[in-house]
Amino acid sequence: MSRLTAERSIRAMAIVEVEGLRKLYGERVAVADVGFRVEAGECVGLLGPNGAGKTTVIKMLLGLSPPSAGTVRLFGCVLCAATARTIRSQIGVVQQEDSLDPDLSVERNLAVWATYYGIAVREASRRADAMVRFAALEDRRHARIKTLSGGMRRRLMLARALMNDPSLLVLDEPTTGLDPQARRLVWERIRQLKRAGTTILLTTHYMDEAAQLCDRLVIVDGGRIVAEGAPGALIAEWVGAEVVEVYLPEQDGERLAQRLAAGPWRSEQVGEVVYVYLRDAGMEPALRELIDGAEFAHRCATLEDVFLRLTGHSLRE
């Protein structure tokens, strides 16, 4: 099969297909019957609170942890011991942890990484130069890793994951701990990859990041998928257009909460706050009259509202 034919074949199929995936640790069920697809050229976000099963799913998808049941297909091939090495050669991974070699320069980190994929020295050098420019690290190409800022290191990790020209890029919380400027630059590089047709599976705890970058979202909690769809569609389905946060007063707070719960809108009480979800823009007159005199905030619905409705407001460690 020619390279052009192979590329057309990849574009025509799902890059990732997960069916009935389960993972047991003794009697504890970490992942239960998870199934989803990532089509060629898509950026799909895998979201969930701490302990929801995201990392376990990623490990099984990369062949780093065997599933207790279910099937993972990557590029149309079932992931197993016989296919794992070939499949992994087509994947780029940006891990949460910094795994750059502190003894090598920026450019050498990239060039040496390429040799692990059997890329010839001259080609590795050419790719390293291109990736240094992609990561906006031209003036730091000879710098040691310990001299780089956190944002520079994350950009270098992303560049390194691209050295093997992967058909699938897995980004595990790629902007955690970055300042706003560094996050925005990483976002722009991810958008560049999307425009070039790279298939991306992204995990993140930043809901604005998921809304900005992802075509579709898969939200997991308790090891199960609780919702799936485009960010805008999920907001419309689970929340609506706007949210009113009503802060219950000390006096008559319980009575107000009861009246809000009995209204013709969807609402949810969390501690001393009642969240009222409005399908349409503009506060309903009946609601405005009901909360007159109480402290409240009226705002547009966001993906964070969806996430909290589906996975709860309780703190996860």
Per-residue model confidence as pLDDT tens digits over 212-242: 999 999 999 999 999 999 999 999 999 999 9
Per-residue model confidence as pLDDT tens digits over 261-295: 999 999 999 999 999 999 998 888 999 999 999 99
Residue 139 confidence (pLDDT) above 90 = yes
Q: Which CATH class is domain 240-301?
A: alpha beta
Residue 5: predicted pLDDT: 47
Residue 315: predicted pLDDT: 56
CA distance readout (Å), 278 to 166, 256, 264, 301: 43, 18, 10, 9
Return the minimum-mean-pLDDT range out of 108-112, 199-203, 284-288. 284-288
Residue 96 confidence (pLDDT) above 90 = no
Per-residue model confidence as pLDDT tens digits over 24-52: 999 899 999 999 999 999 999 999 998 89
Per-residue model confidence as pLDDT tens digits over 184-198: 999 999 999 999 999
pTM: 0.90
If one compares 3 and 272, the residue with the highest pLDDT of the two is 272
Residue 125: predicted pLDDT: 95
Domain with CATH 3.30.70.790 in the chain: 240-301
Return the minimum-mean-pLDDT range out of 1-5, 99-103, 174-178. 1-5
Residue 9 confidence (pLDDT) above 80 = no
Mean predicted lDDT score pLDDT of the chain: 92
Residue 1 confidence (pLDDT) above 60 = no
Residue 283: predicted pLDDT: 86
Residue 11: predicted pLDDT: 47
In percent, the amount of the chain with pLDDT more than 90 equals 87
The band of 4, judged by pLDDT with boundaries at 50, 70 and 90, is: very low
Per-residue model confidence as pLDDT tens digits over 46-84: 999 988 999 999 999 999 999 999 999 999 999 998 999
The band of 177, judged by pLDDT with boundaries at 50, 70 and 90, is: confident
Domain with CATH 3.40.50.300 in the chain: 3-230
Residue 12 confidence (pLDDT) above 70 = no
Residue 312: predicted pLDDT: 86
Question: What is the CATH superfamily name and number for domain 3-230?
Answer: P-loop containing nucleotide triphosphate hydrolases (3.40.50.300)
Residue 281: predicted pLDDT: 87
Residue 314: predicted pLDDT: 67
